[in-house]
């Protein structure tokens, strides 16, 4: 029986649960200019190409991310 690596398992869960981690889904982003209301540099987490885990296996996230409430 094949086993999944931890990274493969995480990637599968990201897809399965529609994991949100970018500034566009964060409660602290300014909707007018997409800057961070806490003044963190957020260019990387605005990039639609960024993935929640880099190729080297490093997680990409902001520890202050707070999921915006859905209307
Ligand atoms: S708190 Fe973090 S995730 Fe939220 S907008 Fe600022 S930089 Fe982005």
Q: Give 33-61 pLDDT, tens digit per residue.
A: 999 999 999 999 999 999 888 878 788 88
- What is the pTM (predicted TM-score) of this model? 0.82
Q: Is the CB of 26 under 6 A from ligand 1?
A: yes
Alpha carbons 52 and 69: distance in angstroms, whole number: 20
Decide if 40 contacts 64 (C-beta within 8 A): yes
What is the Å distance from ligand 1's center to 13 Cα?
22
Pocket residue to mutate for ligand 1, from 64, 66, 69, most atoms within 8 A of Cβ: 64
The confidence score (pLDDT) of residue 11 equals 86
**35-44: long-range pairs with CB below 8 Å, 24+:** 38/64, 40/64
* Pocket flag, ligand 1, residue 65 (CB < 6 Å): yes
């Amino acid at each position: 029986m094949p086993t999944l690596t931890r990274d493969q398992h995480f990637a599968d869960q990201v897809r399965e649960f529609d994991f949100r981690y970018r500034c566009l889904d964060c409660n602290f982003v300014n909707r007018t200019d997409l800057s961070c209301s806490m003044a963190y540099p957020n260019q990387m987490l605005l990039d639609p190409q960024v993935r929640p885990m880099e190729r080297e296996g490093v997680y990409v996230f902001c520890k202050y991310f707070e999921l915006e409430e859905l209307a």
